[in-house]
Amino acid sequence: QVQLVESGGGLVQPGGSLRLSCAASGFTLDYYAIGWFRQAPGKERGGVSCVDNSDSTTYYADSVKGRFTISLDNAKNTVYLQMDNLKPEDTAVYYCAAGPPIDIQAMCRLGTFGSWGQGTQVTASS
């Protein structure tokens, strides 16, 4: 069975940090494209950060650049999203996704991944 499970979400004060995890089972994440997406109520799903593990190419949305970092732990078959200096506008359900890499920038903008996790809630609020 192919499965992606997100964890690490929660409630933090603006300016705080969270580290999201996406654990994969049934396949190996290296040599795949992995993306983090988010969706707030009433808003369209948008790409946050993605990585093409075949060549280590990364992409970050302008809104999170300099604050979020995507990384991969091959030993744990887990992708992380380190989120620093969280803002209220970062509040959303965060999803991880995986698929064969084609064009990481296009995939991150369009959400053209084959496998998706169930999501984890991130709330940055006072």
Predicted local distance difference test score (pLDDT) of residue 27: 86
pLDDT tens-digit profile of 67-120? 999 999 989 999 999 999 999 999 999 999 999 989 999 999 999 999 999 999
- Partners of 83 in the β-ladder: 18, 68
pLDDT score recorded for residue 56:
85
**Cα distance between residue 69 and residue 46, in whole Å:** 16
